[in-house]
Amino acid sequence: MLLSIAASAQTPMDDFFYSSGKIYVVIAVLVIIFLGLAFYLFRLDRKITKLEKKNEA
Amino acid sequence: MRKYWWKIAAVVFIIYAIIGGFLMPAPDNLGIIQKSIRNLHFHVPMWFTMIIMLFTSYIYGIMFLSKSEMKYDSLASSFVKAGMLFGLMGLATGSFWARFTWGTWWVEDAKLNGAAIGIMIYMAYYILRNSIEDDVKRGKFTAVYNLFAFPIFIVLIIVYPRMAETSLHPASGDTVGFSDLDLDNNLRKVFYIATLGWILLGTWIATLKYRVTELTRKDEEI
């Protein structure tokens, strides 16, 4: 079943992520985790900015 | 509107370092290190970021002593906190790396012990902070402590390991730093950007902590 899915990989993106022993999958996972953390920091930053504005008013 | 461009730069640089750290060519066949040479792009920036955070804190400590404005005390303590976060990550990643290169989690080595004592010096900074009730007094005591702590810290983590007779850690004692291994400059292309990215991210975290500290302080004054 898994093999047949791998064999049916056709898009250029599939070809890319199946290549080089799938190391690109690991890199993509790390990038996703880091982007998530960065997004969280941006949200926190915005919330603190709002509080600061409220405090000044 | 606060300026976000350097925060976006921090994220972009670190993502470049994650991708480049895996994919860029590197000297992958060095003795016991092999492909773990790529840890250079992740372990070392932790320490560089910590040093920059603690140096910034040192400067704000001096500014608090000369101007006596509470915001400088908040800045100084926030930067120490961010610095400690990176220092502990440096210790943890270093210990893990050591396990699979030197074969053990910890060795009696000038670089490792110096770093551990250095971290403890800043732990004491927090014990001191938490033990003083009065804001101004706390600011002054900790700023003076910081004045002595930072130079001693630099000696412990950089000067003393270099003066040691032998060491396992690169760039201390009788060992060479990565610049001597990086003959075709492939590591530098990732390492410098990675370091810059993590320093920016550390500054971001420290300023967030600072802004929360200031909000809390102003809230308590009312």
Per-residue pLDDT tens over the stretch B164-213? 888 888 878 778 777 777 767 888 889 999 999 999 999 999 999 999 99
Rounded distance between C-alpha atoms, residue B78 and residue B213, angstroms: 8
pLDDT tens, B22-54?
988 888 877 888 888 889 999 999 999 999 999
Is A31–B18 a contact, with Cβ atoms under 8 angstroms apart? Answer: yes
| Residue range B104-122: mean pLDDT, rounded | 92
Residue B215 has its nearest CB partner, among A38, A44, A51, at A51
pLDDT at A8: 58
The tally of domains found in chain B comes to: 1
Percentage with pLDDT > 70 across chain B: 98
Amino acid in the structure at residue B89 = M
Secondary structure tally for chain A: helices H, strands E: 3, 0
B12 lies within 8 A of chain A by CB: no
Q: How many helices (H) and strands (E) does chain B have?
A: 7, 0
Q: Cβ of A41 and B204 within 8 Å?
A: yes
Q: Above 80 in pLDDT, residue B81?
A: yes
**Mutate which of B8, B13, B211 to test chain A, going by most A C-beta atoms within 10 A?**
B211
Q: What is the mean pLDDT of chain B?
A: 90
DSSP state of B139: H
pLDDT at A3: 57
Please state the pTM of the whole predicted model: 0.88
- Quote the pLDDT of residue A6: 55
pLDDT above 90 coverage of chain B, percent? 67
B172 within 8 A of B110, measured Cβ to Cβ: yes
The ranges assigned to domains in chain A are 2-56
